[in-house]
Amino acid sequence: MRLELQGITKRFPGVVANDHVDLVVEPGEVHGLLGENGAGKSTLMNILYGLYGADEGEIIVDGQRLELEDPGDAIDAGIGMVHQHFMLVPVFTVAENIVLGVEHTARLGKLDRGRASAEVAELAERSGLPVDPDALVEDLPVGIQQRVEILKALYRDARLLILDEPTAVLTPQEADDLFEAIRAFTAEGRSVIFISHKLREHRAIADRISVLRRGRIVGTADPRTTSEQELANLMVGRPVELSVQRPPAAPGPAVLQIEGLRVEDAVGTAVVDEVDLTINAGEIVAVAGVEGNGQSPLVRAVTGLQEISAGTVTIAGRPVVGATRKQVLRDGTGHVPEDRGSDGLVADFSVAENLVLNLWDAAPFARRGTLQFGAINAHARTLVEAYDIRTPSVETTAGSLSGGNQQKLVVAREFDRPIDLLVASQPTRGVDVGSIEYIHTQLVAKRDEGTAVLLVSSELDEVLALADRVAVMFHGRLVGPFDTPIAKEDVGRMMAGADPDEVLGSSPGGQP
């Protein structure tokens, strides 16, 4: 399919999300769409998929002008989309999910499950995306669920597939499998629009890359002749520092000590099991792993948000078990939660109020039960200055700030007090490149102050850039930590569950 977007413009109140975007996707091409959060990638794709109407501009498919009222029209035109968050019914089988909406029925509307299953099996075989058509979707790992999403689009005979951040939930190996499938797909003359903010992946899979910045296409690049650095500069609009300046660590005494930790979920299944980990003052230990392997409950247990089933956790000698979350925080633990929107801040509170969210009843911000707005606002003005939080005033609601500045707000609050341990979960998720640089620098600075840092990230590049030691979490268990530098492929294989002894062979990183 040859797709042409001409002058697509979409305005939201006070915002031009897409400003005269021109884009051509040739048949058989993988077209990378690169841009920071908020650059307008998702809006553009939602227009192409019929979810939004464009204010101006035309969509032309194989020379024909296309009118899209809703996603049904887009599907009819041969456009398929795999969303970042899957649109699957967990309690249905793979085949049921794939045929949902276009199912074959026998007499009296009886579902023809046998035919669906056979068709799906055949389709999966043909497109090189093996799945069991009769498995329940909820039982499948994320990588396979994504395959189901792709098959869903193929079943509707998609000739152009939009993949929105498809690798965010995959191990590096699963991502490679996905890339294979994409190549097989385009070999038949079909096209793919590949959306990602990871430069490396664009260089690996895309035939051409269009860069979106603030709603405009600012350039089209050839991945074979363009370096990652050049792409990053283009995406951000200024020279970007991709690597982190990190002097060698000078570890001190142990701060965080986890022994035999076990955490169970609501039905008693262990989501964290037999985890031992020690983090010393002045070092960054990263926990890598695909999301959903127990990192979140581990962090919650360490920071006093979740009950521990077995084992001990101590921070600078103080046991976490039996302490309230408030005590854990006040005793000297900072926590940057993985989901700032739901856990990190109150969007309708002002910037100033959010900056004292965890110290609201401590002097000097409160006196005899009364909030001291003078002290709160002065504190906020200091932090806004020191942490470069871009806000019109400290009374602005936190929800009005951009994602990167919301994250800087959380970072400022958690970093700017004397702490022994800093727990940072996905600290740069959904954050623009400029803010990522800044947050990384601050993390290293905090380490050099002598704070023990536990970094949990599913971004392998981030882990390898920052960590002094790396541990890998898989199915609730932790392997490592291993000293850095460590080969990225080795960490990737352990993220997929490979035995560390085999991965590292006879020369393991070794545990101190």
Partner 1 sequence: MSDQQGPPEEPTPEEAGSPPGASGSPPQQPEAVEGAVVVSEQERARAEIEAAKQRDADATGVSLEATFSQRLVAALTGTSVVVTVLAFVSALVIGAFIIALSEDAVRETLSYFFARPTDAVRASLDAVGSAYLALLQGSLGGVPQLSETLVSSTPLILTGLAVAVPLRAGLFNIGAEGQFVAGGMVAGLVGFTLTGVPMLVHLPLALLAGIAAGAAYGWVPGVLKARTGAHEVISTIMLNNIGLLVSGYLISTTLFRRPDRADPISRSVEESARFPRLLWWEPSLRVNASLLVALALAVAIFWMVERSTRGFELNAVGLNPRAATAAGMSPGNTVILAMTTGGAMAGAAGAAVILGLQYRLTIGFSAGLGFDGITVALLGRGRIGGTVAAGILIGALKAGGRNMQAQTGTSLELALVIQALIIVFIAAPGLVRAIFRIKADDLPTAQVSKGWGG
Sites for partner 1 among residues 376-435 (CB under 8 A): 388, 390-393, 395-397, 399-403, 405-406, 430, 434
Shortest separation between residue 485's beta carbon and partner 1, angstroms: 30
Q: Which of 17, 81, 94, 380 binds partner 1 (CB under 8 A)?
A: 17
Amino acid at 488: K
Applying CB under 8 A, the span of 25-33, 169-177, 350-358, 477-485 interacting with partner 1 comes to: 350-358
Pairwise CA distance, residues 52 & 43, whole Å: 8
Q: What is the CB neighbour count within 10 angstroms for residue 330?
A: 14
Instruction: State which residue, 10 or 159, has the beta carbon closest to partner 1.
Output: 10
Work out how close the CB of 499 gets to partner 1 at its nearest, in angstroms, rounded to a whole number: 36
Using the minimum distance from each CB to partner 1, give the nearer residue, 367 or 475.
367
Query: Hey, which residues between 222 and 281 contact partner 1 (CB under 8 A)?
Result: 222, 225-226, 230-231, 233-234, 237-239
- Token readout for 105 is 């029925």
Count residues binding partner 1 (CB under 8 A).
86
Beta bridge partners of 474: 477
The residue among 273 and 353 lying less far from partner 1, judged by its C-beta, is: 353
Among 100, 121, 347, 465, binds partner 1 (CB under 8 A): 347
CB of 352 to partner 1, least distance (A): 12
Q: What is the DSSP letter of 57?
A: E
91 touching partner 1, by CB under 8 A: no
Residue 390 φ then ψ, to 5°: -90, 100
Please report, as residue ranges, which positions from 134 to 163 form the binding site for partner 1 (by CB under 8 A).
none
Q: Which residues in 183-222 contact partner 1 (CB under 8 A)?
A: 214-222
| Residue 435: C-alpha distances to residues 82, 259, 316, 444 (Å) | 28, 35, 30, 14
Which is nearer to partner 1, 154 or 235 (by Cβ)? Answer: 235
**By C-beta, is 85 or 107 nearer to partner 1?**
85
Q: To the nearest whole angstrom, how small is the minimum distance from the Cβ of residue 192 to partner 1? A: 20
Q: Minimum Å distance from CB 9 to partner 1?
A: 6
Rounded CA-CA distance 138/148 in Å is 12
**Between residues 359 and 378, which has the closer beta carbon with respect to partner 1?**
359
Closest CB 206 distance from partner 1, rounded Å: 14
Interacting residues with partner 1 between 445 and 504 (CB under 8 A): none
Near partner 1 by CB under 8 A, which window of 61-69, 88-96, 335-343, 501-509?
335-343
Stretch that binds partner 1, among 63-71, 255-263, 360-368, 456-464 (CB under 8 A): 360-368
Which residues ranging from 36 to 75 are in contact with partner 1 (CB under 8 A)?
36-40, 42-43, 56
Nearer to partner 1, 44 or 98 (CB): 44
From 19, 228, 259, 291, residue interacting with partner 1 (rule: CB under 8 A): 19
- Residue 286's contacts (CB-CB under 8 Å, 6 or more residues apart) are 455, 456, 457, 462, 463, 466, 467, 469, 470, 471
Q: Kindly state whether residue 345 participates in binding partner 1, applying the rule CB under 8 A.
A: yes
CA 408 to chain centre: 17
- CA–CA separation, 365 vs 71, rounded Å? 51
User: Which tokens belong to 61?
Assistant: 């498919």
- Spatial distance between the Cα atoms of 424 and 426, rounded to a whole number of angstroms: 6
Distance (Å, whole) CA 477 – CA 319: 22
Sign of the alpha-carbon torsion through 211, 213, 217, 219: negative
**Neighbouring residues of 77: CB distance < 8 A, sequence distance ≥ 6:** 61, 66, 68
Residue 449: how many CB atoms within 10 A of its CB?
A: 13
Q: How far is the CB of 356 from partner 1 (least distance, A)?
A: 9
Cα-based distances in Å from 43 to 70, 396, 502 = 14, 26, 45
Helix (H) or strand (E) segment spanning residue 229: helix 228-236
Q: Which residues pair with 11 in a beta bridge?
A: 16
Nearest distance in Å: CB 78, partner 1: 24
From the list 2, 11, 115, 318, which residue makes contact with partner 1 (rule: CB under 8 A)? 11
Q: Which of residues 305-334 bind partner 1 (CB under 8 A)?
A: 305, 324-326, 328-330
Give the Cβ contact number of residue 509 at 10 Å: 18
